[in-house]
A and B are shown apart, each in its own frame.
Chain A
Amino acid sequence: MSHTLPPLPYAYDALEPVISKQIMELHHQKHHQTYVNNLNAALSSQAGATQSNDVPTLISLQQKIRFNGGGHINHSLFWKNLTPPGTPGNDLASAAPSLKEAIVSHWGSEDAFKKAFGAALLGIQGSGWGWLVSTGGPNSRLDITTTKDQDPVSAEDVPVFGVDMWEHAYYLQYLNNKAGYIEGIWNIINWSEAEKRYTAGVENLVKL
C-alpha cells in the first residue's frame, strides 16, 4: 500500500485573493504530490533493505523519509488549517473559543500573538514552516515554533496550525514580499480546525 495525495477540502481558487489558484494548483498537484511519490519510493526501498537486513541502506534512507514524509505531513496539515476567506471557520472568537482564551492569556492579545507569529515567520533563514503548537499534548501551553525545510514539529507537540514559508508557497503572487503573504494568511486560517487540534489533538492525516 502506498500513500496518496489527499484532496483539498476546497476548490483550487477558493483561497483567492489571498492565495491564487495557480499557486494552489502547483503547490498541491506538483509539490505535495512529489513529496508523496518520493516518500513512497523511499518506503519501498526501506522495505527491501529491511528484508535483506541492509543496515547502511536503511541509514541512508532516513533523511529521505524525514524530508518527504515531513513534506507529506506538513502539507496535509496545512491544507486543512486553511479555509476560504469570510467563512465561519475564519472567525477566531466564534470558531475557537478555548484557543482564543489560551492565546490571549499567553500573549496578552490576539494582535500581539499575530505580531509574534509573523516575526517568527520572517526570521526563518531559508525554507521552512512556522507553527503554533500545544506543547506536550492537547490543551497545554501554547508556543510558536519554526521548523526548517520539511521537518515536522516534535512528535509530542500538537501542531495547532502551520504556515508554509517555502518560497513556492507565495512567490508567484507576492514575490519577495513575505510580509504581505503573512498579513494575508490571517484571512484564511481555519480556526475551527485549529480549535479541534488544540482541544483534542491531531488525527493521523497520512495514515494508509
Chain B
Amino acid sequence: MELHHKNHHNTYVNSYNTAVEQLQEAQHKGDIAAQISLKPAINFHGGGHLNHTLFWENLAPKSAGGGEPPSGALAKAIDETYGSLGEFQNKVNTALAGIQGSGWAWLVKDKQTGQISIRTYANQDPVVGQFEPLLGIDAWEHAYYLDYQNRKAEYFKAIWEVINWKTVEKRFS
C-alpha cells in the first residue's frame, strides 16, 4: 500500500500535471500537433490518477465494513444480472485472470440503459464515455506481487474481503 500510493499513484499525479502543463503551453501556442501527441500521456497518467483514486475509495479495512455484502438497489441489480454475489465475484475474478498484461477490471453502469456489467481495461485506460465506474480492481503486478508473487488468483480471491460496498452503492445511485 505504501509503494502503491506514495510512489505509483504519486508518479501518475506528477506525470499528469506535467502533461497538462505541456498541453496548456501547446494550446497557448496553437500547436495542434503537440496537443495531439500529448494524448497518450494524458490518457495514461490521467487514467492512472483517476483509477487509483476510485480504487482506494472502493476499499476498506475489514474493521470498517470491508467485505460486508452490498444491500438495496445495487444488491438487487447484481442478483438480477448475475444470479448471486458469489457468481458475480467469480465472473469478475475470471475477467481479472484473463487480462493479458497490465490493466483493471471494473463493475460499470451503462449511462444509457442503467444496466451493470463487468468490463476490463488495458493499462491505465479510464472508464469514461458510455460507462460509469462503480468498482475497480487493479490487476497490475505492482498491486499484488510483493504479497502474492505470481499467485494472482489468491489476490483476486482475497480482495473481496476488503471491498467497500458502501462506496459502490453510492456510485450506483
Contacts and interface: CB of A to CB of B under 8 A. Distances in A.
Contacts of B44: 125
What size tier do the contact residues of chain B reach? Answer: 20 to 34
14 contacts: A26-B150, A125-B40, A125-B124, A126-B122, A128-B101, A149-B100, A150-B100, A167-B141, A168-B141, A168-B149, A171-B145, A175-B7, A176-B11, A176-B142
A37 to B, nearest CB: 13
A32 to B, nearest CB: 10
B99 to A, nearest CB: 9
A34 B173 CA distance: 41
Contacts, number: 53
A172 B145 CA distance: 7
B145 A168 contact: yes
A13 to B, nearest CB: 17
A127 B146 contact: no
Interface of A: 26, 30-31, 34, 63, 67, 125-128, 148-150, 166-168, 171-172, 175-176
A23 to B, nearest CB: 10
Contacts of B102: 126-127, 167
Most-contacted residue by chain A among B7, B8, B102, B146 (CB, 10 A): B102
A30 B140 contact: no
B35 interface: no
Contacts of B101: 126-128, 148-150, 166
B128 interface: no
Contacts of B145: 167-168, 171-172
A50 to B, nearest CB: 23
Nearest to B102: A126
Contacts of A128: 101
B150 A176 contact: no
B150 A30 contact: yes
Contacts of B40: 125
Contacts of A63: 100
B167 interface: no
